[in-house]
Structure 1
Amino acid sequence: MKNKSLIFTIVAIALIGALIFVLNSYTKTAEPTPSKVENQTKSNSSNEERKVGNEIGDIAPDFTLKDLNGNTVTLSSLRGKKVILNFWATTCPYCKIEMPALDKFIRAHKDDTVLLAIDLGESEAKVRQYLEGKGYQFTVLLDSDLSTAYDYKIQFIPVSYFIDKNGVIRAISNGAMTYDEIEEYYKALSE
């Protein structure tokens, strides 16, 4: 009887700890205010001084992934354009809620911005089936081996990285965004 009670207590503590970790980690982060973005830009004026990493002010880690048509996309080849990376999966309900807002946003900004929706570890067939008939105008990439997710240290989805024309991460959103929230984060790329 004591062993069952002890096991129950240990399991309960572990579950409560995990819940606290998830709740504390699942918040939106960004630096959309002009003063913070400006100070970040001034303190690191050239890319040579920046490190490659997954935080605001870092050079975004490079990757090469295939899209649903078999074309290869390399992040560094998009220098000179504003880029939004959105990590997602078909099994993520918040990702599904966010996708129409992302599509509406990229339709309004397609002349100067690239949106790469990076599916995490699912088969091409499953992703195609989910996207069928939706008509989304952004590029979907397959991170089949999760190497890109590992480089960006993805723990929860959806998460989006807003990357400026020089390849620098200017804002990060953890969690599903509305259209207005996407526009707000996007402002960090123009300052």
Structure 2
Amino acid sequence: LSFPVLITPVNEGMVVDEEKYQVHACEAEHSVPTFSFLFEEKEKPGTFYPDKANSLGIPKGELWHKLQQGEEVVIENKSIKPSEVMGPNVPGKKIGISGDTRPTKKLEEFFKNCDYLVFDSTFSDELKEKAVESCHSTAKEAATFAKNANVSNLILTHFSARYKNENVLLEEAKAVHNSVIAAKDQLKINIV
């Protein structure tokens, strides 16, 4: 190879912790060891209200910046907390990705309240027995799983080649969950 290959063993739990996000891993149920991943954006500061800062006599500039960064400031021996001039923190987005797997309670808890979840939906529900045998999921199971985990948007993936198109799987899932799409090569989703 003309480039280095770095192999990093992964265990359950937090596997990445950066300034703005974390990545967590959870072992999935499949015929070989496999993991599902949760990308979690950290909370962001709420809206800064200049009118509130002005009414408290806080001069524009460095002190405004400190408050926006979550720091308390002192003016004329009076302590001012960020919460006095800012709205509540904004929760970060949660995006889950699970390849080959069966839907389990453990994964359901792991993906609880995800904004977006990419999940295995290899078979239609008429082949549920085959899905169980091969440690995969049906589209209906994926949708039920997402609904139970309070997932906002489900993205079906890993379709069996037996399906000429994904419509049968998509319709099966849409009967259970109200926001479902089928993944495709080079699919782009605007995370809002």
TM over 0.5: no
Bigger-Rg structure (1/2): 2
TM-score, length of structure 1 as denominator length: 0.29
More helix by share: 1
